[in-house]
Amino acid sequence: MSGALKEVRNRIKSVQSTQQITKAMKMVSAAKLRRAQDAITQMRPYAQKLQEMLGNIVSNSDGGVNLALAAERQVNKALIIVVTSDRGLCGGYNSNLIKLAKHLIAEKYAAQNAKGNVQILPIGKKGFEHFTKNGFKVYDKYWDIFTGLSFDKVQAAAQYAMDAFSTKEVDAVEVIYSEFKNAATQRFVAEQFLPVQKVVPKEGQKKADFIFEPAKEVLINELMPKILNTQLFKAVLDANASEHGARMTAMDKASENANELLKSLKISYNRARQAAITTELTEIVSGAAALNG
C-alpha cells in the first residue's frame, strides 16, 4: 500500500474513533439532561411564585419594617455570581456566560471594577479558572458546587452573598446564569439578586394584600433568606440543565461533522486507490511491451 493510501486510511480510522466518542458523550448528556430537565421543570413554578411573593412583600411593606436585604444604597462594591460548568465540550456555553459577566461589569460596574471593588463568586470550574487566570478578585469557596449538587451547597453560597450584603461588604449582588429553554436553546441572563427588587403593579392592577401571622417583621426576616436560597438554587438547576443540553447539541453537531469528513476522506481514499491501481497497470503494460520489444 502506498504512503498516500495509508495516510488516508489512518485518518479515516481516527475520525471513526472520534465519532464513537462524540456519539457516546451525546448519549450520556441526553440521559443527564432528562434528570436535570425534570428537576428544573418541577422547581421553576414554585421558585417563580416565591419570587413574586417576595417582590410583593417588599413593595407593600411600610417604613416601620426593617428589610435589610431590600435596602437600596449607593453601589461602591459589587459581587457577581457567575454560574458556569465544570467541564467543556459544550459549544459556546461557558464563553457566552463569561462574556456576559464581563459585559455587565464594563457596562454597570466599570467604576467599581477600576477600584478593585468587584468580586466574582464563581460556581463551576470553568468560570473559576478563567476569572482567576485573568486577574479578577475571586472568592474561591463555592466553585465546586456541581460536584454532588445539593440544595445545602447552594444555600451556603447564597448565605455568603446575603451576609456580605447585610454587613455592607457589598452593595449589590448579581447572578449570571443560563436559563434552560430546551436542549438546543438557552437564554443567558444577568439578574439582580440583592437588594431584593420591588414588584411594580401594572396599570389597574391592585396591590397584593397580606395578613401576617406571626408579626410582620419576624415573618419577613425569616422568609426572605429562604426565598433567596430558592432563587439561587433555581438558577443553578437552570444552569445544570442548560449545560447538558448544550453538550448534547454540541456532540450531535460534532458527530454530523465527522460523518461529512468521513464521506470526504472515503472519496479521497477511493481516488488514491484507483490512481495506485492505474499506476500498477501502466507499469505492467509497459514492462510487457518492453519484453515483447
Return the active site residues. 90
Tell how strand 118-123 and strand 137-138 pair up. parallel
Can you tell me the distance from the alpha carbon of 151 to that of 103, in angstroms, rounded to the nearest whole number? Answer: 29
Cell of 72: 437600596
How does 19-55 read in b/e, with b if 16+ C-beta sit within 10 Å?
beebeebbeebbebbeebbebbeebeeebeebbeebb
Cell of 245: 443540553
If one counts every other C-beta atom within 10 angstroms of the C-beta of residue 99, the result is 13
Can you tell me the distance from the alpha carbon of 36 to that of 237, in angstroms, rounded to the nearest whole number? Answer: 7
In contact, 122 and 131? CB cutoff 8 Å:
yes
Percent of the chain as helix, strand, coil, to the nearest 5: 65, 10, 25
Cα-based distances in Å from 102 to 82, 109, 157, 187, 199: 10, 10, 21, 17, 28
Residues in the chain, how many? Answer: 293
Secondary structure in 3-state letters for 238-273 = HHHHHHHHHHHHHHHHHHHHHHHHHHHHHHHHHHHH
> Which amino acid would we find at residue 280?
E
In contact, 86 and 147? CB cutoff 8 Å:
yes
